[in-house]
Amino acid sequence: MSQPGMLAALREIIRRDLLLALRRRSDVLTTVMFFILVASLFPLGVGPEPAVLRTIAPGVLWVAALLSCLLSLSRLFTADYVDGVLEQMLLIPQPLSVLVIGKVTAHWLISGLPVVLLSPLLGLQFGLSGEVLGILTLSLLLGTPTLSFIGAIGAALTLGVRGSSVLIALLVLPLFIPVLIFGAGAVTSSASGIGAGAHLSLLGAGLLLAVVLSPWATATSLRIALE
């Protein structure tokens, strides 16, 4: 299979999904607004004490990012499954795993990238310093694509199943926990002056592992679901 052909198919899948997302802006805004609301309500509920806010900030922002990703996973393959597009993808002479990478990349651009870009602004509510905000952004930049790749496996396994949103959460949340721990740990370590290098390295390793394994596992799950 030619590499130019695979790259062209990858670009086309990303472009197509981004165009469809622009036509369904409410779905995109729901995910972004959920992240903003969850992260913004905690300072109001906990109180204005700066020390308390700085302590809870890493966990709150990372949990909000995780839940916003989880909220959008059920839509990753559903529309294409209902329209019959997924069945057509099986007939394309490109590996299904390449098309999965395209769909997951588009999903992250739609739901993950806005979270990464908004996190420094929301982090200001918790009194985080500039260096800590940078680590927060970097940890989310490494961690949120991993969440999308892992979540794609759960979305494929529950494709066409009633109540798939709940099943996806049950399947992928245990796999999300390490990403949450290392992501929040990176921010906490930076705020404590310890250094976030180890946590960021683990997040990077997790991302590489997800990029290698998740497309294959997701493609296999999709084939099973479509049989």
pLDDT in tens, 92-115: 777 888 888 988 999 999 889 999
Instruction: Give the per-residue pLDDT at 146.
Output: 95
pLDDT in tens, 77-89: 877 777 777 777 7
**Which among 61, 190, 180, 66 is positioned nearest to 125, based on CA atoms?**
61
Instruction: Give the per-residue pLDDT at 90.
Output: 75
**What average pLDDT does this structure show over 5-21?**
83
Residue at token pair 């329209």: 83
> How many residues are recorded in the chain?
227
pLDDT in tens, 113-129: 999 999 999 988 888 88
Q: What is the dihedral of CA 24, 26, 31, 34, to 10 degrees?
A: 180
Instruction: Give the per-residue pLDDT at 223.
Output: 85
Give DSSP secondary structure letters for 37-93: HHHHHHHHHH-S-HHHHHHHHHHHHHHHHHHHHHHHHTTTTHHHHHHTHHHHHTTSS
pLDDT at position 217 over 60:
yes
Structure tokens at 63: 């949990």
1-5, 54-58, 134-138: the lowest-pLDDT one: 1-5
Instruction: Give the per-residue pLDDT at 4.
Output: 61
Q: In terms of pLDDT, which residue wins out, 99 or 201?
A: 201
Structure tokens at 30: 């729901």
Kindly calculate the radius of gyration of the chain based on its CA atoms and give it in whole angstroms: 18
Taking all residues of the chain, what is their mean pLDDT, rounded to a whole number?
A: 86
**Which among 61, 40, 8, 48 is positioned nearest to 191, based on CA atoms?**
61
Main-chain dihedrals φ then ψ at residue 93, nearest 5 degrees: -75, 15
Instruction: Give the per-residue pLDDT at 3.
Output: 61
Rounded Cα gap, residues 111 and 131, in angstroms: 25
pLDDT in tens, 37-79: 988 888 888 777 888 888 888 999 999 999 998 888 888 887 7
pLDDT in tens, 152-195: 998 888 887 776 778 888 889 999 999 999 999 999 998 888 88
